[in-house]
Amino acid sequence: MSRINIWIALLLVSVLVNGVLIGAGAHRWLSDDGAARTSIRADASDVARMRGFEPRRFFRALPDEYRRSMFEQMEGSREEVFALMRDLGEKRRAVRMVLTSDPFDPDAAAQALREAREARARLEQRTEALILDAADSLPADVRRAAFERALTRHGDRDHDRRHGRHEAERGDRDDDRRGPNGPPPGDRPEFH
C-alpha cells in the first residue's frame, strides 16, 4: 500500500469512528428519558393545553349575573374599544390589499403586517386591562374558573377537530345555547 493510500484509509476509519460516536451520542440524547427530558415533555404538554387569553371564552364562562356586572363596569370604555376595533379592521383590510396587489411589494407588505400586529396588540392590551380591572370584583372561585376556561384548550372545538376528537365526546357545550340568530343577549364580549 502506498503512503497516500494509508492516509486515505486512516481518514476513512476516523470519519467512520466519529460517525459511530456521534450517532451513539445522538441516539442517547434523543432517547434519554431522564428528569430533564421528562420536564421538557411536561412543559410542552402544558403549552399544548394552553392558549393565549381569550376574552370571549372568559365571558362565556361567567354566570349571567357576573357577566352583566362586568359589562356595566366596562361600559365607560365602550367607544374607546370600538375605535381600536375599527382601527384593527382598517389595518387588516390594508394587509389584504397589499398582500394581493400586483406587483407585490415585500416592504409595503411587511409594513402593513407590522401595523396590523401593533393595532391588534393595542386592542388586546386595552381589553385585557379592562377585564382585569373588572375581574377584581368577582368572587375568587368564579374569577379562577373563568380565567382557567379562557386559557385552556380543553373543549376547544377547533383543537379537538385537529386532534381527531368528535364533538359528541366533548363535555364542553358552550354553543348549545346559541339560536339561529347567534348568542343570547349578554353572551358577547362586546360592550353593550
pLDDT one-digit tens code per residue, 10-28: 777 787 877 777 877 776 6
Share of the chain above pLDDT 70, in %: 64
Q: At residue 156, does pLDDT exceed 80? A: no
Which residues touch 164 (CB under 8 Å, ≥6 apart)? none
What does the pLDDT average to over 150-165? 57
Query: Which grid cell is 65?
Result: 349575573
Cα 115 from Cα 122, distance rounded (Å): 11
Cα 73 from Cα 136, distance rounded (Å): 11
Calculated CA dihedral for residues 105, 108, 111, 117, nearest 10 degrees:
-70
Cα 132 from Cα 119, distance rounded (Å): 20
Write out pLDDT tens, residues 73-101.
888 888 999 999 999 999 999 999 999 99
Write out pLDDT tens, residues 30-86.
665 556 556 665 656 555 555 677 888 888 889 988 888 888 888 888 899 999 999
Q: Report yes or no: 189 and 82 within 8 Å, Cβ to Cβ.
A: no
Give the pLDDT score at 25: 73
Cα 95 from Cα 151, distance rounded (Å): 28
Give the pLDDT score at 13: 78
Determine the distance from the C-alpha atom of residue 146 to the mean position of all C-alpha atoms in its chain, rounded to a whole number.
17
Confidence of residue 105 (pLDDT cuts 50, 70, 90): very high
